[in-house]
Structure 1
Amino acid sequence: MTQLPRRRSYAYLLWLVGGFIGAHRFYLGSYLGGAAQLALLLYGMAGLPGSRFGLALVLPWLLYDLYWIHRRLMRQGAAETGNEDAPAPRSVRRPAASDAKGYDLAALAEVSRLQERFMAAAEADDWAGAVAIGEQVVASARRVFKGPHQNLAMSLCMLGQACHQLGAFDKARACLEESLSIGRKIGMPAEDMDITRKALDQTLAGIDARKARGAASDEQGALLSLLEDREARYRDALAQGDLPNAEKLCAEAVAFSRRLHGGPDKAVVLHLSSYAELCRRLRWNDKAQAAADEALAMIGQLGLDDSWRRGPTNTLALLHAAAGRSDEAEALYKKTIAMAVAEARGGSSDGVVRAFNNLAFLYADSSQDEKAELCYARALVHLDKLPPGEGDAELHSDMLNNFAGLYMARREFVRAKELFERSLDIQQRDCRGISPAAANAHNDLGLIAQEEGDLRQALVHFKRTLLLNQICSPDHFRNIDNAQRNIDSVSMALAAVARAARMEPST
């Protein structure tokens, strides 16, 4: 158990009024010495032979204890600093009596308590709390020692290691370098110096890694970590179809990227373009247009190529198409086609397929079937040039379904059926045929089978459509109801055919 600090005035007072019974020694923890003094006093007062000799020994012993009290208290003060019974290196000056008197024992006890709290926070991996407590430890050590001291050096080392764990590398470096500087001045033990040097080496490696990520300071490093977190989370939310949460997280990513770069930057453009598209899909058209316009303006300021313009330009084209501004949408779609072809260097890519598909859908929606067929055909040519099984499977299936829908409207069922079946093959390879695109293809194949009089095949497709809608889009009640009505209609027709077959007379 740690001994409580003793007051010099109390020790001398006990020596004065109770020295013969060893009161001052009991107070300062020298129990054997106190018991010996008490025994000599009792023996001297017992009147036994030689008892006066015992009293004669007590008096010079008490005179010696005046110096002993001073030494005892100085040694206890050194123990409070953590150097009790430790041999000092030759280059270190032992504290003089005046130094010991200058230490505030209550403040030393407070430093000790703070260090215990620091260790508890570190063991719990609460590095933010450890840094806050470590700063209090260092501040208290500076007030107590008022100059270079081993306790201050090790407190700075503790704080530096906590800052490193928290990612505050600049602050960790400053603490560890100061700790080493103090250690060299006072001749700190080699083992402690090695610990500090290793911690500094790790911190310098962390600073290099942070710079490689594009952050020049602790503040930028923290913002970069927040930005990476929001980016990963909004992409996960988007993949799960949670558009409201994805929009919120993407807006935070835009804000963090602005703070990180302090002005126009590629990262800001990237997240603004994503935010514009998310707002469009949520039908927040004003926000979507504002974000897309800002992204395009920033692209112009940075002098970026057309590969950066294609995304926000396509978003604006979709917004114009949704608002019924076909001419503006057509002009923007043609720009995206030119950008996608240039980016693919005249070859094929998902970007080219998407651009032609969007323009074809615009033409089909405005009853320009010939232009729509031409655009879909060109999209199909580019799709055929892509390596099988690679690229955006959802995009490929949607384009094929759209093209097949154009043929269905013309009642060209053979061509439509080929495209729908190809769409299902793509979905089967990508996700085992469990997707909204596959549900749409099965639904239309069921309609084709119904038109051709193959009711049993139609029933198979409609049942598959219902199952896929229940799995992939359980909240789209209209699609589920339509699939159920188609099943009921075909089932009733099959039942009627069966009844008619039973009633027909045999020949």
Structure 2
Amino acid sequence: MTPSPRRSSFAWLLWLVGGFIGAHRFYLGSYLGGAAQLGLLLYGLAGLPGSRFCLMVLLPWLLFDLWWVHRRLKQLKEGGTGAMDGDGDGDDAPAARQATRRPAPRDAAKDFDLAALAEANKLQERFVAAAEAGDWGQAVAIGEQIVAAMRRVFRGPHQNLAMTLCMLGQACYRVDAFDKARASLEESLSIGRKIGMPAEDMDVARKALDLTLVGIEQRKARGATSDEQGALLNLLDDREARYRDALAQGDLQSAEKLCAEAVAASRRLHGGPDKTVVLHLSSHAELCRRLRWNEKAQASADEAIAMIGQLGLDDSWRRGPTNTLALLHAAAGRADEAEALYKKTIAMAVSEAGGGSSDGVVRAFNNLAFLYAESGQDVKAELCYARALVHLDKLPPGEGDTELHSDMLNNFASLHMSRRDFVRARELFERSLDIQQRSCRGISATAANAHNDLGLIAQEEGDLRQALLHFKRTLLLNQICTPDHFRNIDNAQRNIESVSIALAAVARAARMEPST
């Protein structure tokens, strides 16, 4: 029994009018290929994720079938399946029967791994979903699988492979994997030139490659020469931004953890001593000190100073970790060691400012003055505070570290207050409040401290109404800025109650006093 004849003219007509539904393949016996083409068409028209890619796969497949139909008809004719145009006679039957006993020629459609093609179609849906969700890392992983599947399907240059490589290159660009993106896009263009890919598809790949080359240049400008270094740079930038945000919000523990990750990322990036490592070690030391993790703070500060020596950096780099070490010695009661280090920081800050004034100079004098005040050396403390105030006056108004300026003024005012020089203390507290008003509308813990001390001064001077106003302001600011500092809130509440009782007593006394 011989297969039914196939008419070449009818096969070409089916390709022309029914190719999108695989009619010509069904007619020529390639039922799996016909079913695949019909499935691609139905999915492409359904408007589901990846439908556009299905139509992109179907169109070049139909163009490929121009060659496939010709070859298939030739194979069937050589196999003696009957007169292709219906004009043969029975004399050909013996030859046909003889041909059927020979091994059948291989189906050209089996040159393609249709299972791999079906896998690529499924992966395409996942790729589109990941891209629409903005999960470009997942999209890159899926894109690599699609390219591998396409290489199994098309074992050589092909438009579908070129477009898949272009798609992968664009996904790699999104995750800053510029080297991988460049390789994929260059291969896509190379295949496109070989097969004569449409101009609009070539333009897409060229534009993506241009963007990738710009990204590579920008990465080089930042000091990274590979995708791995670029990824580390991005990680480092992320950790820097996040630990600064955590610090601004007062979350010291989160800030310390993120800063430690920044230290680790900078070590991996540079593979040894570097300015970036020094910078983050200094920040980590200060964060640990503020958390009272003194051993960790000292270890980070010591390592930062040692690395500064290895790199041959100037004293501007030493000032931060040296100041942290001085604060650690002061907290541990080692006043002599702290004083020596504070004096070093003053010399470094003055040298860094070129003999002029800066926040660094103000901070250095303020720290040494606070050390003297805590150890009972009020004369030395006043001298250092006065020098800090001189440098503060030289700074442009409204600029610099306003918290530092207010803290220094509050400290100096407290020294005058302890000497009962209320006039000078009030001037300094009011100046501190003025700075806070300009910087944060007076809503800060520093402003709360100033109002509290002004209330105490007013109470000492007998101005109970003014004292009550300051204490109420202190309570409000503590509730807003430091709600977990219950001791400060309780103190403010007690001060309010004490002054209120005193005012009530004065009022009762005034009512009982006989009129004259």
Report deviation, 1:144. Answer: 2.4
TM-score by length of 1: 0.83
Report deviation, 1:311. Answer: 0.6
Which of the numbers 421, 432, 448 marks the counterpart of 2:430? Answer: 421
The answer to which of 375-384 and 127-136 deviates more is 127-136
Which amino acid in the other structure matches residue 243 of structure 2?
Answer: Y
Residue 260 of structure 2: aligned partner: 251
Which amino acid in the other structure matches residue 279 of structure 1?
Answer: C
Report deviation, 1:391. Answer: 1.3
Is residue 371 of structure 2 the alignment partner of residue 362 of structure 1? yes
Which of the numbers 235, 242, 248 marks the counterpart of 1:233? Answer: 242
SS at match of 2:280: helix
CA contact (8 A) 1:397 1:426 kept: yes
Which of the numbers 289, 306, 309 marks the counterpart of 1:300? Answer: 309
Superimposed CA distance per residue, residues 276-304 of structure 1 (whole angstroms, 9 cap, x where no aligned partner): 10100000000000001111111111111
Superimposed CA distance per residue, residues 343-379 of structure 1 (whole angstroms, 9 cap, x where no aligned partner): 1101111110000000000000000111001000100
- Paired positions, count: 453
Distance 1:463 1:95, change over 3 A: farther
Report deviation, 1:408. Answer: 1.2
Structure 2: how far apart are the matches of 1:94 and 1:384? 91
Structure 2: how far apart are the matches of 1:316 and 1:496? 52
Which amino acid in the other structure matches residue 330 of structure 2?
Answer: A
Structure 2: how far apart are the matches of 1:227 and 1:316? 26
Structure 2: how far apart are the matches of 1:400 and 1:377? 10
Matches within 5 A, 1:25-36: none
The answer to which of 422-431 and 267-276 deviates more is 422-431
Distance 1:312 1:93, change over 3 A: farther
Residue 40 of structure 1: aligned partner: none
Residue 482 of structure 1: aligned partner: 491
Which of the numbers 439, 445, 454 marks the counterpart of 1:445? Answer: 454
- Give RMSD over aligned pairs: 3.1
Residue 42 of structure 1: aligned partner: none
Residue 457 of structure 1: aligned partner: 466
CA contact (8 A) 2:11 2:28 kept: no
Report deviation, 1:167. Answer: 1.5
Structure 2: how far apart are the matches of 1:161 and 1:453? 75
Structure 2: how far apart are the matches of 1:111 and 1:500? 94
Residue 180 of structure 1: aligned partner: 189
Structure number, greater radius of gyration:
1
Which amino acid in the other structure matches residue 489 of structure 2?
Answer: I
Report deviation, 1:450. Answer: 1.4
Which of the numbers 287, 292, 299 marks the counterpart of 1:278? Answer: 287
Which of the numbers 52, 72, 86 marks the counterpart of 2:63? Answer: 86
Report deviation, 1:269. Answer: 0.9
Matches within 5 A, 1:284-363: 284-363=293-372
Distance 1:108 1:418, change over 3 A: closer
Report deviation, 1:307. Answer: 0.9
Which amino acid in the other structure matches residue 220 of structure 1?
Answer: Q
Structure 2: how far apart are the matches of 1:186 and 1:78? 24
Which of the numbers 379, 389, 398 marks the counterpart of 2:398? Answer: 389
Report deviation, 1:70. Answer: 5.5
Residue 170 of structure 1: aligned partner: 179
Distance 1:73 1:290, change over 3 A: same
Which amino acid in the other structure matches residue 498 of structure 2?
Answer: S
Matches within 5 A, 1:367-382: 367-382=376-391
Matches within 5 A, 1:95-114: 100-114=109-123
Structure 1: how far apart are the matches of 2:12 and 2:128? 30
Residue 433 of structure 1: aligned partner: 442
Residue 268 of structure 1: aligned partner: 277
Which amino acid in the other structure matches residue 358 of structure 1?
Answer: N
Is residue 475 of structure 2 the alignment partner of residue 466 of structure 1? yes
CA contact (8 A) 2:113 2:152 kept: no
Structure 1: how far apart are the matches of 2:26 and 2:135? 46
Report deviation, 1:120. Answer: 3.2
Residue 99 of structure 2: aligned partner: none
The answer to which of 150-159 and 229-238 deviates more is 150-159
Report deviation, 1:317. Answer: 0.3
Structure 1: how far apart are the matches of 2:114 and 2:441? 74
Structure 2: how far apart are the matches of 1:27 and 1:148? 27
Report deviation, 1:336. Answer: 0.4
Report deviation, 1:27. Answer: 13
Structure 1: how far apart are the matches of 2:486 and 2:123? 61
Structure 1: how far apart are the matches of 2:361 and 2:133? 53
Which amino acid in the other structure matches residue 268 of structure 1?
Answer: V
Structure 2: how far apart are the matches of 1:330 and 1:457? 39
Structure 1: how far apart are the matches of 2:247 and 2:383? 32
CA contact (8 A) 1:74 1:100 kept: no
Distance 1:460 1:147, change over 3 A: same
SS at match of 1:433: coil
Report deviation, 1:125. Answer: 2.6
Which of the numbers 209, 218, 223 marks the counterpart of 1:209? Answer: 218
CA contact (8 A) 2:11 2:27 kept: no
Report deviation, 1:69. Answer: 6.2
Is residue 414 of structure 2 the alignment partner of residue 405 of structure 1? yes
Where structure 2 has 5 or more consecutive residues not aligned to the other structure, the ranges are: 18-24, 41-56, 73-105
Structure 1: how far apart are the matches of 2:388 and 2:256? 30
TM-score by length of 2: 0.81
Structure 1: how far apart are the matches of 2:480 and 2:500? 22
CA contact (8 A) 1:78 1:84 kept: no
Distance 1:121 1:468, change over 3 A: closer
Distance 1:95 1:201, change over 3 A: farther
CA contact (8 A) 2:131 2:139 kept: yes
The answer to which of 469-478 and 146-155 deviates more is 146-155
Distance 1:75 1:241, change over 3 A: closer
CA contact (8 A) 1:28 1:72 kept: no
Superimposed CA distance per residue, residues 434-469 of structure 1 (whole angstroms, 9 cap, x where no aligned partner): 111111111111111111122222112111111111
CA contact (8 A) 2:285 2:321 kept: yes
The answer to which of 77-86 and 180-189 deviates more is 77-86
Distance 1:230 1:504, change over 3 A: same
Residue 499 of structure 1: aligned partner: 508
Report deviation, 1:188. Answer: 2.5
Distance 1:196 1:484, change over 3 A: same
Which of the numbers 194, 197, 203 marks the counterpart of 2:203? Answer: 194
Structure 1: how far apart are the matches of 2:69 and 2:205? 23
Structure 2: how far apart are the matches of 1:503 and 1:290? 68
Structure 1: how far apart are the matches of 2:215 and 2:303? 35
Which amino acid in the other structure matches residue 398 of structure 1?
Answer: D
Distance 1:195 1:374, change over 3 A: same
Report deviation, 1:74. Answer: 12
